[in-house]
Amino acid sequence: MTVESTGLETVRKAIEQIAGQFEKAGLFYGHGTDNALDEAAWLVLFVAELPYDSPDSHYDQVLSNEQRGKISWLAEKRLQTRQPLAYLIHEAWFCGLKFYVDERVLVPRSPLAELIVAGFEPWRAGQPVASVLDIGTGSGCIAIACAYAFPEARIDAADISEDALVVTRRNIANHALQGRVHAVQSDLFAALDGRCYDIIVSNPPYVDANDMASMPEEFRHEPELGLASGADGLDHTRLILTQAAEHLNPAGLLVVEVGNSAEALVEAFPQLPFTWLEFEGGGQGVFLLTREELQNVCGSR
């Protein structure tokens, strides 16, 4: 399909036309938007350099020939390659913050954003947070958002992938947080001996083998290292559960997203008193455990 620049005279017309083409092509959404209209608006407003909460009057803005050409090119690229739009424009949003992304990292989309904005309340019960660990940090979005939520805290952003950490460091620099957010190459806790935290948060790989085999094309542009976690999707989470207690301070929290693997996790660890979090903005499969709950069941090494 070729996306012509004719008919893209204004922001409004461009969004309507691109949305129609996206809808007709049957694209899959889930990397920042969940429908064709929002995806088209994201693309057009990005090119027009307009805020995503633009007033209605901005939608009548006339686009330049250069802008129309770029919109056409990006839309055609999205249609032909099925790459997530975030990769095409190297931009994603999390907790209201902008991040650079490319195919070395997953596109941020975790419901954990809502919990971070709330300062992990009511689960922290007003206790100060001095240290946070983000396991499997990818773009660094969770670690950086935690730095904004807890201005006095030290944040470690850990990932096994040095390629991903290049992106992490770029985003840390973009947000001028080099003094408080530290990128660490580590296979889960392997390089973190002796370090303890008030909060350990993780969006680890949790996709099981069946889901990996049936993923829409858009997800296949993301690094498999950040998605796949064995037959039942729990290879990484099992290790986190058995090692987290020794890296948590008293009353510390472990918060992990496991998505569709939640049911398998409960079956695998029936003795653990998981608290499953609910989100006003949607999303599921995120559990919370305290250090004491982990120690009581799994023990501390």
Per residue in 250-273, pLDDT (tens digit) is: 999 999 999 989 999 999 999 999
Distances (CA, A) of 41 to 4, 78, 196: 17, 14, 43
User: How high is the mean pLDDT of the chain?
Assistant: 94
Distances (CA, A) of 110 to 71, 165, 202, 219: 27, 19, 10, 15
In the prediction, which pLDDT does 3 show?
A: 66
Q: How confident is the model at residue 298 (pLDDT cuts 50, 70, 90)?
A: low
d(CA 275, CA 82): 36
Distances (CA, A) of 301 to 80, 245, 247, 288, 298: 51, 8, 10, 20, 9
Task: Name the residue ranges covered by the structural domains of the chain.
Answer: 11-81, 92-298
CATH of span 92-298: 3.40.50.150
Q: Are 155 and 182 in contact (CB under 8 A)?
A: yes
Token readout for 202 is 């993780």
The answer on pLDDT for 299 being more than 90 is no
Query: Among residues 138, 117, 133, which one has the least CA distance to residue 31?
Result: 138
In the prediction, which pLDDT does 301 show?
A: 37
Q: What are phi and psi of 119, to 5 degrees?
A: 65, 30
Please name every residue paired with 159 in a beta bridge, in sequence order, or none if there are none: 185
In the prediction, which pLDDT does 4 show?
A: 61
User: For 151-169, what is the mean pLDDT?
Assistant: 98
